[in-house]
A and B are shown apart, each in its own frame.
Chain A
Amino acid sequence: MPEITGYAFPNDIHVHWSLMIVMYPYITGFVAGSFIVTALYHLFGKNEFQPVARLSLAASFCFLLVAGLPLQLHLGHPERGLFVMITPNFTSAMAGFGILYSFYLMIVMLEVWFVWRGEIIQTARRSRGLKRAFYAALALGTYDTSPQALEIDHRAVKVLSAIGLPSACMLHGYVGFIFGGIKANPWWSTPLMPVIFLCSAAVSGIALLILVYQVTAKLGRRVIQADTVSAMARWLWFFLIITVTLELLEIIMLAYENSEEWHIISPLLTTRLQFSFISMQMIIGSLIPFILLFIVTVMNRYLHEKVRNTLTVMASLLLLLQVFSMRWNVVIGGQLLSKSFRGLRSAYEPHLFEREGILVAIVLFVLPFVILYVFDRLLPIEAPPGAHAPDPHGDAPPAAGVSPAA
């Protein structure tokens, strides 16, 4: 039984939204964040992002495939989960999941197809037997790689990114909406919630891609592009500033208004969430990466490449922790306070081995990388040398010396 301090209603001392509900926004955050990175390249012409454009699209896709899983694991009757799509109840925000998820999945699959079409056809031409049949089916039977066809692909990718970016934002903003729309809970109920979720999604997405980019480049013995790293660090810094500003604003606003909610939220933050909010989310997760990225951004010119890589990797690792603690503090924190506004329950501790436990959470985090590996086997993320892979950015030539295949 949880321990209670103060006065709590007997029916709100249970943490029903468990670790899995923490993992859900964490994972969809990567989906949205990675897509923002692809969109920076495809839509906004940030050529520094060319080396990670395909990687981030693939990452967004792989995380998306896992995004529904924590919800399924959370349900007592997982077989009923599908009904949120089959018979949605439109007066419930959760009905949004089916629509937003399937629409976004469709957009991402289409974009993946258009980006990798060249390679699919190449592989189909080069191979025999079953493998050929598989890739021929993937290519939908047309082997048109003429410049005109590739030009059409570029335009399709651009249009799809333009639709995909708002869809990704909606998919993740909706997660914030679910919390922001719960008016009985002062720790959740704020219209800022979707915005905060979105900005921290961008943070987690970019941070993750910095790490994955560095690791895959090391594994594939490729050069880590300096301007890609510093551009990502710059954008990471930008989104970090916005995110933390909003997160703090929300709390300062509550503190300044000093209404009855603050009398429960302030003890919540200083006792139950002291470690996960003050130490992790604010100091280790925000202040330190802020300083690290400040150094990378402001003193970029003076930094040795190794130093810059190390600093951004450290900042990225800390930011992954920051975003996780933010999800934790929102989801779990909101369930530690009683709706009486007068009582707190003791901290929630998930077990290692249970359906919604720590081990499963770790598996959920690793699974997208396994899928990414399989993806890379089927559709190589780095274009192989010599293959005339369609340059996904039609009109602008890639930045000088960026071609990873070189």
Chain B
Amino acid sequence: MEHARHVFRVLLVLLLVIVVVIVGRSFLVPKSFGMYGNYRYDNVPEQMAARPPLHGGARSCADCHDERSAVLAKGSHARVSCEVCHGPLGRHVKDGDVVAKMAIDRSPRLCGNCHRKIDGRPPKFPQVVFEKHVEGGLGPKGCLDCHDAHSPKL
């Protein structure tokens, strides 16, 4: 045993290294790591704070555009949210003040997103074949020549 002193020393050094590693690791592991899984949970609120939601939902426009909302609510587009056709609230209004004009897409492409005849769409959903829908082709205002975007049923 007397001649094994160096072995004990090296084992002691090893133990020291292991302790340093364990203690060091406890400093390096991020605080919220492993709370809900193998990731740093704090990252979730951080990312949330970094990306404020832009959309306000269907009701958010009614505060200032109640007559438009009333029109929409009565027509066949009642189930279509304003932001689908225009854009997210956040680009138009911030903290209750208008910061920019809201986009308006007047092209037939907007309507085509939902109404162009495609085999994959449910057959009951109102669809038109653009090329055949209007005799002689579309006029200068496109679909809006005849349909009101907010209350499209004629």
Contact = CB atoms under 8 A, between A and B. Distances in A.
A294 to B, nearest CB: 45
Contact of B3 (A89, A106, A139, A146): A146
A141 B29 CA distance: 35
B20 interface: no
Q: Interface of chain B, helix or strand or loop or mixed? A: helix
Interface string B1-35: 00111110110011001000000010011100110
Nearest to B11: A110
A246 interface: no
A144 interface: yes
Interface in A75-125: 82, 86-87, 89, 91, 106, 110, 113, 117
B47 interface: no
A117 B33 contact: no
B38 interface: yes
Given A106-B14, A141-B9, A87 B38 contact: yes
Given A87-B33, A140-B10, A141-B9, A149 B28 contact: no
Given A86-B29, A87-B33, A152 B38 contact: no
A152 B9 contact: no
A321 interface: no
Contacts of B5: 142, 144
A89 B9 contact: no
Interface in B77-104: none
Interface residues of B, number: 17
Nearest to A92: B38
A146 B4 CA distance: 10
B6 A144 contact: yes
Interface in A349-388: none
Most chain A beta-carbon contacts within 10 A, residue among B4, B29, B30 = B4
Contacts of A146: 3
A82 B4 CA distance: 36
Given A106-B14, A140-B13, A86 B25 contact: yes
B33 A152 contact: no
A148 interface: yes
A89 to B, nearest CB: 5
Given A106-B14, A149-B3, A152-B3, A142 B9 contact: yes
A310 to B, nearest CB: 43
Interface of B: 3-7, 9-10, 13-14, 17, 25, 28-30, 33-34, 38
20 contacts: A82-B28, A86-B25, A86-B29, A87-B34, A87-B38, A89-B38, A91-B38, A110-B14, A113-B10, A140-B6, A140-B9, A140-B13, A142-B9, A144-B3, A149-B3, A149-B6, A152-B3, A152-B4, A152-B7, A156-B7
Given A89-B38, A110-B10, 11 more contacts: A87-B38, A106-B17, A140-B9, A140-B10, A141-B9, A142-B5, A142-B9, A144-B3, A149-B6, A152-B3, A152-B7
